[in-house]
Amino acid sequence: MERFLRDLVAGLVFAAFGAAAIHFVREYPLGTAVRMGSGYFPAALGWLLIGFGAFLCVRGLWRWVPSPRRKAKQVDGLDFVKGDRAPAPAPAAAAWDWREATWSVRPVACIAASMLVFGFVMPRLGLIPALVPMFFVAARGGREFRWREVLILTLVMTAFAVGVFVMLLKLPFQLFPGFYLV
Amino acid sequence: MFENLVLGFAVAASVENLLYCLAGVALGTLIGVLPGITPLVAIGMLFPLTFTLPPIPSLIMLAGIYYGAQYGGSTTAILVNLPGETASAVTCIDGYPMARQGRAGPALAIAALASFFAGCVGTLLIAFVGPPLGEWALQFGPWEYCALMLMGLVASAVLARGDAVKGLAMVALGLLFGVVGTDVNSGVVRYAFDVPELFDGIGFTVIAVGLFAVAEIASNLESGERREALAAAISELLPSRHDLRDAGWPMMRGTAVGAVLGVLPGTGPALASFAAYMLEKKVATDPDRFGAGAVEGVAAPEAANNAAAQTGFIPTLTLGIPGSAVMTLMVGAMMMHGFAPGPQAMAEKPELFWGIVASMWLGNLMLLVLNLPLIGLWVSLLKVPYRWLFPSIVMFCCIGVYSVSNNPVDVYLCAALGALGFLLARVGCEPAPLLLGYVLGPLFEEHLRRAMLLGRGDPLLFLTRPISLAFMLGTALVLVAMVWPALRRKQ
């Protein structure tokens, strides 16, 4: 991601949280500076976040405006992500691959989805029915997905989880619907 | 002085507790050594394991996990040139060449020995400095606490790597996350959106696991694997007498540097290991050897790193203000066990306080005993492919978060925070300041409200009370340090 875009997105995220904080703070009493109500501190934080967000947005836009004189100066040691300076060559239309294009969000989407699946199934059906889909969904987030390998991994790690969490640490988990060890 | 340490060891050194410590060290190293897992991820993933235990054994196991995970970070630095965290980046410079010459064994042993030596000195320092500092801190009013926390928060944001403005914004966001839940002063439930699970606030486990473990796996997967396998076989296991003699003085100098720099908030261990390495290069008669596998280049930064981590516990335990991300995790975990570090804790629960200090030392000792014979095992663990590891880490995260209160909402929230953490990391925002803000947020608000109430709304009291003024000046200094390079560039 280019540097100006990173500033812009970060600024928007912070400003959005700030705006949400201020929007919902109306339900809580503000109080005064001497006797702060429960809304005073979060409201102050909300405005602070909007301030930081606005600053980052402005800085992002400022960096976006091309200025050859400034370009040379912008290189400082603060940013760790490499390859920002040189803009990537635009990919040719024929080389467009949706797998590559969606790659950057796939790991996070798969992992979050696998956690959601686990959270949904766990209280309803128990640990083992929750872990199996969790492993398969999470493993889709990797670059390689081999059915047999994931199956073995699932079996081994599920056995490990039952051994450590249920038998050793005695967490009162349901293993299958209606089946408990502890 | 020493009666405190004796009390601590009396608490920590029962057979049962030692076993928990051993289990913690073993698990911490096991997970910390796995490729692509930083000490933070390892601690975040493992500390839910300690929840089922009573406070003292669980804190002792936590200390073991902490040391194991830290050492796991150094192990990967030496064996595969992959530093677990900034502080062990320096260890790579000479540790990895040593490993490539087949001297991985001596390098790991020297790292463990240096850590242990520094840990001993650090523990003694806590015993000497802790009580007077804690007594001094008992005089703090809400103004001093506010100013101190402000300094810690600002320093962690500005001195941490990355963009300072984003760091400050992350602190503010963390403070806001800390607000969620029932307000202790008025009983008003804030930002819970009628979700009963949020009435007690967002759980610490949820935030820590989401921001560190989940977000980090996603980032690792997205950027792909970058690691070199260790080509050379391990020819020696233990350091020779010559190695030990070479490492002796650097160890002591590193410890001294680390002990002083460790008390600084924000950067402690990382800064200390860099400074110690530079110092060794300065005093060495033949600085050319550095970078090509010099024993001193492993001993000094590892000692400094650990001494700094240990003295970092001084502000963490006596004042309740953690200095680094790992420390924040530790404080959060202690709070979950009903132990809020701070001057009151030292006075009211001495057995817990000194028990923790003693178990830190024991954890360090266990590390030495356990890890040297197991080097071969760590090496083979490094070959585990990441595509097997990451679903397993997700499993640990899910079960760990779920087990806190057997509630699926925590898992959903953790997934959402993981996604948020991933997005923020992509746009250059480090998660550590957010976690610090979240942990200190409720305390900060409480002290701020008390300060304003007691001072009848006079904000000048922050600047007229001497200790508070000193902290405020410290904060200002950090902020000036942040703006200074930008101002100079303009001219």
Mean pLDDT per 10-residue interval, chain B, length 491 residues: 77 82 85 74 78 79 82 78 71 81 82 86 83 81 87 79 86 93 84 85 86 84 62 66 82 86 68 82 79 81 84 79 75 78 77 80 81 74 80 89 88 94 89 86 88 84 86 87 73 57
Q: Residue B229 has what pLDDT? A: 54
DSSP string, B83-105: -SSGGGHHHHHHHHHHHHTT-HH
The listed range with the strongest mean pLDDT (A21-25, A163-167, B385-389) is A21-25
Q: Which residue has the higher pLDDT, A73 or B407?
A: B407
Judged against a pLDDT cut of 90, whether residue A52 lies above it is answered with yes
B395–A171 CB contact, under 8 Å: no
Q: Residue B471 has what pLDDT? A: 86
A108–B419 CB contact, under 8 Å: yes
Judged against a pLDDT cut of 90, whether residue A23 lies above it is answered with yes
What average pLDDT score do residues A74-100 get?
Answer: 48
- Which residue on chain A is closest to B406 by alpha carbon? A123
Q: Residue B300 has what pLDDT? A: 86
**With contacts defined as CB-CB under 8 Å, which chain A residues touch B190?**
28, 38-39, 42
A148 touches B at CB < 8 Å: no
**With contacts defined as CB-CB under 8 Å, which chain A residues touch B416?**
112
In this structure, chain B runs to a length of 491
- Which residue on chain A is closest to B437 by alpha carbon? A45
Residue B341 dihedral angles phi and psi, to the nearest 5°: -60, 145
Q: Which residue has the higher pLDDT, A117 or B465?
A: A117
DSSP string, B324-367: SHHHHHHHHHHHHTT---SHHHHHH-HHHHHHHHHHHHHHHHHH
Does residue A98 form part of some domain? no
User: Closest to A107 (Cβ–Cβ): which among B183, B218, B408?
Assistant: B218
A54 touches B at CB < 8 Å: no
State the residue range of the domain holding B429: 2-490
Report the number of distinct structural domains present in chain A: 2
**A172 HSE (CA, 13 A, CB side):** 4
**What number of H helices and E strands is found in chain B?**
22, 2
Last-in-domain residue among A68, A86, A113: A68
User: Closest to A111 (Cβ–Cβ): which among B214, B426, B445?
Assistant: B214
B25: Cβ contacts below 8 Å, ≥ 6 apart: B64, B65, B67, B68, B363, B366, B367, B370, B371
With contact defined as beta carbons under 8 Å apart, do B345 and B354 qualify?
A: no
Last-in-domain residue among A40, A68, A96: A68
With H, G, I as helix, E, B as strand and everything else as coil, classify residue B390: helix
Judged against a pLDDT cut of 60, whether residue A20 lies above it is answered with yes
What is the rounded CA–CA span in Å between residue B319 and residue B360? Answer: 18
CB pairs < 8 Å spanning A and B: 205
A49–B222 CB contact, under 8 Å: no
Residue type, B452: M
**With contacts defined as CB-CB under 8 Å, which chain A residues touch B428?**
6-7, 10, 79-81
Judged against a pLDDT cut of 90, whether residue A131 lies above it is answered with yes
**With contacts defined as CB-CB under 8 Å, which chain B residues touch A154?**
391
What average pLDDT score do residues A53-78 get?
Answer: 70
Share of chain A above pLDDT 90, in %: 46
A161–B399 CB contact, under 8 Å: yes
Beta bridge pairs of residue B182: B189
Report the number of distinct structural domains present in chain B: 1
Does residue A73 form part of some domain? no
A38–B169 CB contact, under 8 Å: no
A10–B217 CB contact, under 8 Å: no
B387–A144 CB contact, under 8 Å: yes
Tokens of A102: 């969606």
Q: What is the separation of C-alpha B91 from the centre of its chain, rounded to a whole number of angstroms?
A: 17
CA distances to A151, B34, B215, B287, B395 from A154, rounded to whole Å, are 5, 18, 22, 51, 10
- Which residue on chain B is closest to A7 by alpha carbon? B427
Q: Residue B267 has what pLDDT? A: 58
What is the rounded CA–CA span in Å between residue B394 and residue A112? Answer: 9
CA distances to A9, A64, A81, B167, B281 from A3, rounded to whole Å, are 10, 9, 9, 16, 36
Q: Residue A167 has what pLDDT? A: 85
What is the rounded CA–CA span in Å between residue B480 and residue B491? Answer: 16
Q: Residue A90 has what pLDDT? A: 47
Would you tell me the crossing angle of helices B15-33 and B350-371 to the nearest 10 degrees?
A: 60
pLDDT band at A84 (very low <50, low <70, confident <90, very high): very low
Tokens of B402: 């779920």
- Taking the model in full, what pTM does it have? 0.81
State the residue range of the domain holding A114: 105-180
Shortest Cα distance, chain A CAs vs residue B440, angstroms: 14
